[in-house]
Amino acid sequence: MLAFWRHGYETTSIADLTAAMGITAPSLYAAFGDKKQLFLEAVRLYAGDPQAMADGIDAAPDALEAARGLMTAAARAYTGADTPSGCLMASATASGSAASADVQRVVADIRRSVRRRLQAKIDQDMQAGRLLPATNAAALAGLVMAVMQGMSVLARDGMERSALLGIAEASLQAWPGDAR
């Protein structure tokens, strides 16, 4: 996972992976089939249980706190002491070449799933009268995702966790006011 995170999907070689794992290429192929399957396993490890992510969003008292939780967790993950800076999913698939299109789709599906779940939480707040009915739930969920991806780039540039947390809080100032 760390090799992909540091170097990206396309530029991480089988030799890089076998060296990081302390195994031979035949063992890698026997265990994972190919580099793509190993990367997808690394993404599953990185992203964690999709249901746990959904449960975390659902458990938040409102969409604002769900968004805050997502961005705070992202800032912490992007600046971990034992991991490369930034987001594995963003940095590993940044090249956008046709060779990694299927891998990029899987990563995009994970991000879409988080965005949809947050959008559903925003919709719930609108229905409950906590947000104005004119709130654009899709755009608001997209804003959170865009800020998180931007924070990943800034972390790769060396920005510290405290600054990323400040950006997260500043972005939440754009959150629509209470409907009550």
Q: 61-85 pLDDT, tens per residue? A: 999 999 999 999 999 999 999 888 9
R_g (Cα) of the chain, nearest Å: 18
Give residue 30's identity as a one-letter amino acid code.
A
Position 102 scores a pLDDT of: 83
Q: How many CB atoms lie within 10 A of CB 5?
A: 20
48-172: in CATH 1.10.357.10: yes
pLDDT for the residue 178: 64
Residue 150 has pLDDT above 90, yes or no: yes
Nearest to 122 by CA among 79, 179, 83, 167: 179
**Residue 4 to residues 39, 42, 64, 93, Cα–Cα distance (Å):** 7, 8, 32, 9
Question: pTM to 2 decimals?
Answer: 0.86
Which bin fits 96, alpha (ψ -120 to 50), beta or left (φ > 0)? left
